[in-house]
Structure 1
Amino acid sequence: MYYVNREQIAVRLDAIAEIAAALDVLADQWQGTLLEGLAQERALHLAIETVTDVGSFLIDGFILRDASSYEDIIEISGEAGAFPADMQSTLIELVQLRKPLVQDYYVWERASLHPLSKTLSTLLPEYKQAVEDYLDREL
């Protein structure tokens, strides 16, 4: 029997609506201001943390193979069927932004809209639904 912490997964998945909405507004109204740049950084960072936290909970709960990186978390949870295969490359691209956002923030281009900002506003809610469907199926 598996112990999957559905409560903690749900808390994180519930944050997706606000993150996606923020990215959507930023993408639609982008003017390249400092405030928009900082808001975009934070929204992308929250998106990264959300999908990696959810993936880690799935890996731990379903006793999947250990992840050695953020990319690995996405690959392992994707292989388990937690989300459609066509999402995987975009989610990997997202988690690869963690180092630039967290460690190399001083060189991040804040005046530019990152291409993932618009993509994630629709992909994240789809990811949320896919994970919820996966949990219902598996549990």
Structure 2
Amino acid sequence: MYYVNVEQIAVRLQAIDEITKALQELSRQWQGSLLQGLAQERALHLAVETVTDVGSYIIDGFIMRDASSYEDIIDITGEEGVFPADMQPTLMKLVKLRKPLVQQYFEWQRAELHPLTTELASLLPAFKEAVEQYLKREL
């Protein structure tokens, strides 16, 4: 029997609505200010953490193979059909941002609108829906 922590998954999925709203607003109003740059960094970082946290809970709950990296979380959940295959390349680009955002933040180009800021505004809600459908199907 599996123990899938659906409560914690749901809490993290709820964060997607606010993250999406922030990404949309940043995309629409981008002027490259310092404040916008810092807000973009945080929104992208929250997107990374949300996607990987959800993936980790699913991997642990359904006793899938152990993930050895953030990229592995995307590979495993993608292979298991948690989200559609066409989402995987963008999700992989997202998790690869973690190191620059967390460890190389001093090199981040704050004045530039990152391409994922616009792309994630539509992908994250679809990811949320895919995860919810997966859980309904598997539980």
TM range (shorter): over 0.9
One-letter amino acid of the counterpart of residue 106, structure 2: Y
**In structure 1, what is the equivalent of residue 9 of structure 2?**
9
Taking only aligned residues, the RMSD between alpha carbons, in angstroms, comes to 0.3
Separation in 2, partners of 1:38, 1:30: 12
Separation in 1, partners of 2:19, 2:78: 21
**In structure 2, what is the equivalent of residue 70 of structure 1?**
70
One-letter amino acid of the counterpart of residue 133, structure 2: D
Instruction: Show structure 1 runs of 5+ residues with no match.
Output: none
Count of residue pairs brought into register by the alignment:
139
What is the TM-score when the length of structure 2 is the normalising length? 0.99
Structure 1 stretches of 4+ moved >6 Å:
none
Separation in 2, partners of 1:77, 1:6: 16
Separation in 2, partners of 1:112, 1:12: 28
Separation in 1, partners of 2:74, 2:24: 23
Separation in 2, partners of 1:132, 1:126: 10
Separation in 2, partners of 1:107, 1:81: 35
What is the TM-score when the length of structure 1 is the normalising length? 0.99
Mapping of residues 75-94 of structure 1, within 5 Å = 75-94=75-94
* Percent of residue pairs bearing the same amino acid type: 73
Deviation, 1:96, is: 0.1
Separation in 2, partners of 1:107, 1:131: 33
Instruction: Show structure 2 runs of 5+ residues with no match.
Output: none
Deviation, 1:114, is: 0.1
Mapping of residues 1-139 of structure 1, within 5 Å = 1-139=1-139
Deviation, 1:121, is: 0.4
